[in-house]
Structure 1
Amino acid sequence: MTDFATQLLENLEAQLNEIGVENDLIKAAESSIKATIITLEKLKTHFVRYEFENKVDEITFFKFVKPQFVSKLIYHNEVYNIESNRPFGGTKYLRKYFSSELSKLKCYFNENMEFYKYYRTGSVYLDKKYFVRGRYDIKLTLDSSYFQADNRFTTSHDFKVAKILANDLLQVYLERELLKLDNKAVPYSITEKQVQKWTGSKVALIELIYALHAEGVFNNGTTDLKETAKFFEETFDIDLGQFHRTFFEIRARKSERTKFLNSLKETLVRRMDEVDE
């Protein structure tokens, strides 16, 4: 399941990166929604026929894997709605509009504070209730949508995890829109002429980051991994999300664990051979 889901996620992220070049945010969001829905259908079709070896694998899928897909759908759908309803008017109206959207994120946080704390701190003591199918507890703040969802592909709290991940992205998007209104430079932004956009998959970039960090090529090996990841996020204007979890999935590959690095080597050797001819 890990290999299948990882490949699906890589393909989806590559599609979303291509779509992201589109200047029209509404069109880009619409295309992103369609691409993500198609990918989720593939994941679901494969999953409903799959039997986990144990509860740990099932928990891992619903706590860390599925939310990565669903969060993208939530995020792009929210961006589509926000941009579609963007009011006509001056800076004052737009600032009020985006600030209101930020307030909605804060409200969701306040309403789900206990689960935020549970998830952010890496707690596991309720995982069997939160992330195993059919183990819902009505006392654990369930979303009403859970009771209408396909219970073969849903646990009581995997959607909440996806919502948390999506809200993180939405907060960045909304804060940047507010900065634009104030005519302030967006942090770490680069002029259009200088932009170098990472168009490979996020998984590939994370694999590269870990390799470079392991080699100790930054500041004589003294740079923290988190700082290194942040540098790449800022440089390529990309959100790597829970890169530690992605690395865990890379490690769990049954074959060719360093797939991207192997591909880099093969491509470079081929380029050298072509030059030598």
Structure 2
Amino acid sequence: MKETALRLLEDLETQLKEIELAKKETIEHVEDSIRKTISVLETLKTNFVKYKFESKKDEISFFRDIKPQFVSKLIYYNEIYNIMTNKPFGGNKTLRKYYTGELAKLKSFYTENVEFFKYYRNGNTYLDNKYFVRGRYDIKLTLDSFYFQADSRFSTSHDFKVAKIMANNLIQNYLESEIVKIENKAPLFNLTERQVQKWTGTKIALIELVYALHAEGVFNNGASDLKETAKFFEEVFDVDLGQFHRTFFEMRARKADRTKFLNSLRDTLVRRMDEVDEI
């Protein structure tokens, strides 16, 4: 099931990128993206309901790590559609107030779900059997009302909340970029040729580093989305990481030394420290 889902996700991301390139930052772009995501989600569900997990661990992995990546895209594009169609007429001051208000809504969601947010971002697993297994909901664990109307074959009590967290990170980026446009701020990066640092190591090594830093939660207090973090590194180091999700799963499958690059970094740094001590 995991391989099927990952192939669908890869295809979806490719098609969404093509839509973006053809109709960037337009209502049509968002509408087409919503329709495409719904279509792929229906395909995922059709495949899913026929599948029986071999273990609870596999079921948890699907609802915690895989399904939210699909649903988050639908939430994101739907919210962007609402933001775009409800945008008020007026000058920069009016628009800035509008976007700031939308950012405040994201903050409210975080405040209302702060305990789960910390649980998820810190990589905790002790409640996964309740959060990400079907039919194991606990009313005391902050349930969304929609859960009781959702298809119980394809939903757990908290997989939608994970998707919402992912989507909110992307929505925040969108809103902040719109505010930057209003304020005519300089680009985030305006480097001279001599200042550019091009990544000359392997892509696998950089992907290993990106995943490690994201897992540690060192960006935006742990609130950064993995895809946006990877995109940031691609832009900064002028490198295309490709299907980094697939590369990560290949790294996980290594029989030995799964963190080869990180181990090498540690050893190199220790040697440098030893050399300095000897001077």
TM-score (norm 2): 0.74
- Post-superposition shift, 1:185? 2.6
Amino acid at match of 1:232: E
| Residue 37 (structure 1) aligns with | 38
Distance in structure 2 (CA, Å) of the matches to 1:106 and 1:239: 31
Q: 1:161-193 CA deviation, whole Å, 9 max, x = no partner?
A: 000000010111111100110001342489xxx
| Residue 2 (structure 2) aligns with | 2
- Post-superposition shift, 1:231? 2.1
Relative to structure 1, the CA distance from residue 181 to residue 11 in structure 2 (aligned partners, 3 Å threshold; closer, same or farther) is same
Relative to structure 1, the CA distance from residue 236 to residue 141 in structure 2 (aligned partners, 3 Å threshold; closer, same or farther) is farther
- Post-superposition shift, 1:95? 0.2
* Aligned-pair identity (%): 56
Amino acid at match of 1:75: Y
Amino acid at match of 1:33: I
| Residue 85 (structure 1) aligns with | 86
| Residue 65 (structure 1) aligns with | 66
Is 1:28 paired with 2:22? no
Secondary structure of 2:151's match? coil
| Residue 17 (structure 1) aligns with | 17
Relative to structure 1, the CA distance from residue 95 to residue 240 in structure 2 (aligned partners, 3 Å threshold; closer, same or farther) is farther
Q: 1:220-248 CA deviation, whole Å, 9 max, x = no partner?
A: xx99964994320557799999x6x6644
Higher mean displacement: 153-162 or 17-26? 17-26
> What are structure 2's unaligned runs of at least 5 residues?
192-201, 215-228, 254-279
Distance in structure 2 (CA, Å) of the matches to 1:246 and 1:112: 30
Distance in structure 2 (CA, Å) of the matches to 1:136 and 1:14: 35
Distance in structure 2 (CA, Å) of the matches to 1:158 and 1:239: 27
1:2, 1:249 within 8 Å by CA — same for their partners in 2? no
Secondary structure of 1:137's match? coil
RMSD: 3.0
TM-score (norm 1): 0.74
Amino acid at match of 1:89: G
Paired residues for 1:99-248 under 5 Å? 99-188=100-189, 209-210=203-204, 226=213, 229=230, 230-234=232-236, 247-248=247-248
Amino acid at match of 2:45: K
Relative to structure 1, the CA distance from residue 47 to residue 224 in structure 2 (aligned partners, 3 Å threshold; closer, same or farther) is closer
Amino acid at match of 1:141: T
Distance in structure 2 (CA, Å) of the matches to 1:189 and 1:135: 51
> What are structure 1's unaligned runs of at least 5 residues?
191-207, 215-221, 254-277
- Post-superposition shift, 1:249? 3.4
Q: 1:49-71 CA deviation, whole Å, 9 max, x = no partner?
A: 10000000000000000000000
Query: How many residues of Structure 1 are paired with residues of Structure 2 in the alignment?
Result: 227
Is 1:95 paired with 2:89? no
2:234, 2:241 within 8 Å by CA — same for their partners in 1? no
